[in-house]
A and B are shown apart, each in its own frame.
Chain A
Amino acid sequence: MALTLDEVRHIAFLARLELEEEELERYAQQLSAVLEYASRLNEVDTTQIAPTASVLPLQAPLRPDIVRPCPPRELMLSNAPEEERGMFRVPPVLEKS
């Protein structure tokens, strides 16, 4: 299972990672080696086996619906690289009309 450079470029795009050409080449080789190793899983017959997503019995517990104070806005914004008027500030995402 050898990944091509284009496949690695596509994975980096999905993962939102800007990678140098040299990194793409290295990851192509290293990820291929890991996937090759992992391919032994396909030799296991799992047609009758249910997947395990969690070792605990599946549950979706509900908590009591009680109004509680939430952390102050300034505290939650205190780690933001940029903030403005009590909000997280990001570069524009829409073209100026």
Chain B
Amino acid sequence: MPGLTDISLLDAAAALRKGEVSSRDLTEACLSRIDTLDPRLHAFLTLTPDLALEQADAADSALASWRKSGSADLPLTHGIPLAIKDVLCVQGVQTTCGSKILEGFLPPYTATSVSRLIDAGSVILGKTNTDEFAMGSSTENSAYGPTHNPWDLERVPGGSSGGSAAAVAAGLCYAALGTDTGGSVRQPASFCGVTGLKTSYGRVSRYGLIAYGSSLDTVGALARSASDLIPLFETMAGYDELDSTSVRDPLPALVLNGSDLHGLHIGVPREYFIDGMQPEVEAAVRTAIAMIESMGASVEEVSLPHTDLALPVYYLIAPAEASANLARYDGVRFGPRVTGDDLWDQYLQTRGSLFGPEVKRRIMLGTYALSAGYYDAYYGQAQKVRTLIKADFDQAFQSVDLLACPVAPTTAFRIGEHGDDPLSMYLEDVFTLPANLAGVPGISFPVGFDTRGLPIGMQLNAPHLGEALLLKSAHSYQQETTWHMQRPVLA
């Protein structure tokens, strides 16, 4: 008999319906496992046990009446304990973005993605660690200290949704919300051996997501399998009048069809297999692609010729948007204030001392790229090359349904390994940035382990709004493999 925190989200939902467990049982099991393991992992920045138990009891009452009447459909997320990345606002619950500049901030409202899950009966366990303002690939940029990878505590969980990925991998929750601006759901999912969905730009409302790069930011989720992600995605997705960039397109019905992939055309972009990538990563991804082919899909090599330009484009556009978005942190309306000689000095002192090094670096980079005399050469040129990167995807999706490629060039690296060399850290994002620049969705799921026992992930990308095909295809692969069922040993 596996423990309550070992079962999948869908099995937990089934057990709740049958009355075999209560939401309070599930919530207490998660809270107890967090108590035991999180001192070593540091996946959470804030825990909300009182709120969680209150929501669990409410979910149990609703379940009791549902069982009596048997009438209306109960959402699959009902009564399920979840963790929320600490860049999404939850009213009255401290939301820091991993930054000292928002220490103690209690949002006056809740993000749409989260409120839809709460309305669907989910239980909120707490807020997970992140690189400061989601800027990073390792969670080392959190002002509150790094999260540790459950597979090797001396290694990073990836980032920026590293707290959410570690929490799911360690069984501290059934699923977690993350955000993906340049790979921040997919790369930590890969490093922690879980399944992560980056949604299409505009598919999930950004209302209440504290902005980093507004033309790139997306809300996604991490869970232990593709099928566990489906109820989260279906609950969060859809038009929201509070986000004018959220799309009105209806969600297609998502019907899982076992492991048969006949009729599916997969493209393998040759630019995603580069010199210097860890050979075990390439081998595992190629083996997984062969597996998908053996399940009936047709596979062909394709080219996305501007791939190598995605990194410089991203590291001009994202910092430029960040420098504008982060102008609001001035010590006037929220967050702590460092008192100066006058208002001007207060701005300088508050921002200079409460932002961390990576955030300051990106604000400076973005400010420069937008400044008089340099705008056309940097920001303007980056936006034009972005058009070419998006056109690469449009062109590829003329002939294939999905693209299959690695998530990251390596498995999880050691804490401190990239030291104070930002460019070497940025190179970790080389395979995930293009999807954000093109606005297309992606899914990352485990396809093997390296010789150190660290998980290896593979990525599928679909055309804009193609999440259903991603979830179905990853689910098919997971019907035939057991990589996603492996768990780290955390005695």
**Residues of A in contact with B (beta carbons under 8 Å apart):** 3, 8, 11-12, 14-19, 23, 26-27, 30-31, 33-35, 37-38, 40-42, 44, 46, 49-56, 59-61, 63, 71, 75-76, 78-82, 88, 90-93
Contact = CB atoms under 8 A, between A and B. Distances in A.
B132 to A, nearest CB: 14
Interface residues of B, number: 71
B343 A81 contact: no
Nearest to B386: A52
Contacts of B378: 35, 38, 41
A53 B309 contact: no
A86 B88 CA distance: 27
A75 B108 CA distance: 6
Given A50-B387, A55-B438, A17 B360 contact: yes
A11 B388 contact: no
A17 to B, nearest CB: 5
A80 to B, nearest CB: 6
A25 to B, nearest CB: 12
Contacts of B388: 44, 46, 49
Nearest to A40: B312
Given A16-B327, A18-B348, A46-B381, 14 more contacts: A15-B363, A30-B422, A37-B423, A38-B315, A38-B378, A41-B309, A41-B382, A51-B384, A52-B383, A52-B390, A55-B439, A60-B244, A63-B244, A75-B108
Closest 3 pairs between A and B when the two form their complex, measured CB to CB: A55-B439, A18-B352, A51-B383
Nearest to B214: A54
Contact of A16 (B316, B337, B348, B390): B348
A51 B349 CA distance: 36
Given A56-B245, A88-B332, A51 B351 contact: no
B423 A34 contact: yes
Contact of A34 (B215, B355, B365, B382): B365
B364 A17 contact: yes
A60 to B, nearest CB: 8
Question: Which one of A15, A71, A75, A82 has the greatest number of beta carbons of chain B within 10 Å?
Answer: A15
A93 B342 contact: yes
Given A33-B423, A44-B388, A63-B241, A56 B202 contact: yes
Contact of B343 (A40, A41, A46, A90): A90
Interface string B338-366: 01111110111101110101001101110
B231 interface: no
B109 A93 contact: no
Given A12-B364, A27-B364, A17 B105 contact: no
B323 A50 contact: no
A13 B341 CA distance: 16
